[in-house]
Copies of this chain bind each other. A is one copy, B any other.
């Protein structure tokens, strides 16, 4: 039994898709979230800069005596986790392995698609994780660099021709591959799931990397006896590096809940 909080960080808002699922599964757990909104997005930056920012994010969460850390940012999980994980004294979970295992279990034709930021795709982390599970699976990746700005600007409708045109351009290699299972390898992408599903067509299963990772972490903490025995709902705290008000206003689209009053602005770096 352990009543310390679970720490979660992301470059911005996207990691809230993991928080939402985690809070559903483990309502009694305390969660400390950090969104580096003053430096979002990470996905277009160099690996060196991503490592620097991720290290600062992790140190901040560790200062809150967390019992486990979720790196709810696919860019960091795929580009920097190998470097920062050994520096962290609590169990660390990225958002690459759990959805890779889920996709490998779900695919029927052995063809998996992965979509993410430029940095995530450049890293090859998903293809490597899937190959470790089953080398016979084939993986087709596509970078979708405009998806995060579209989500951050609330432009997500499947009826929006700008969204579907951009999605079609990005997803064509995945469609051509015949993949029957596609990993949303960026925690922002679930908000575009309708448009992505429309463009990919029927019969394709989408895997939400943030939600699947939350499920994986809940199971691991339970089996390691690291869950709290608290009877009351766990406290949620949100820290950001830009305006707390702006974050609270935007977060409601991800969490479908009002978190104003629980967000605090801090400085990193």
Q: Interface on A for B, CB 8 Å cutoff?
A: 37-39, 44-46, 48-49, 145-146, 149-150, 152-153, 155, 160-163, 165-166, 169, 241-243, 246, 269
Tell me the minimal C-beta distance from A127 to chain B in angstroms.
23
Q: Which residues of B contact A165 (CB under 8 A)?
A: 160-162, 165
Number of copies: 2
13 other contacts beyond A45-B243, A162-B162, with CB at 8 A cut-off?
A: A38-B39, A38-B45, A38-B49, A44-B152, A46-B246, A48-B243, A145-B153, A146-B153, A146-B155, A149-B149, A161-B161, A162-B169, A165-B165
Selected A-B contacts with CB under 8 Å, 5 pairs: A46-B246, A49-B241, A49-B243, A146-B146, A269-B269
The distance from the CB of A11 to the nearest CB of chain B, in whole angstroms, is 12
Name the distance in Å between A216's Cβ and chain B's nearest Cβ. Answer: 31
Most chain B CB inside 10 Å of its own CB: which residue of A150, A162, A269: A162
A136 to chain B, nearest CB (A): 35
When distances are taken between beta carbons in the complex, the residues of chain B under 8 Å from A146 are 146, 149-150, 153, 155
Quote the shortest CB–CB distance from A27 to chain B (angstroms): 32
Asked if B153 and A45 make an inter-chain contact with CB atoms under 8 angstroms apart, the answer reads no
For the complex, give the distance between the alpha carbons of A160 and B146 in Å.
14
Q: How far is the CA of A163 from the CA of B162 in the complex (A)?
A: 7
**With the chains together, A150 CA to B149 CA distance in Å?**
9
Min Cβ gap A47→B in Å is 9
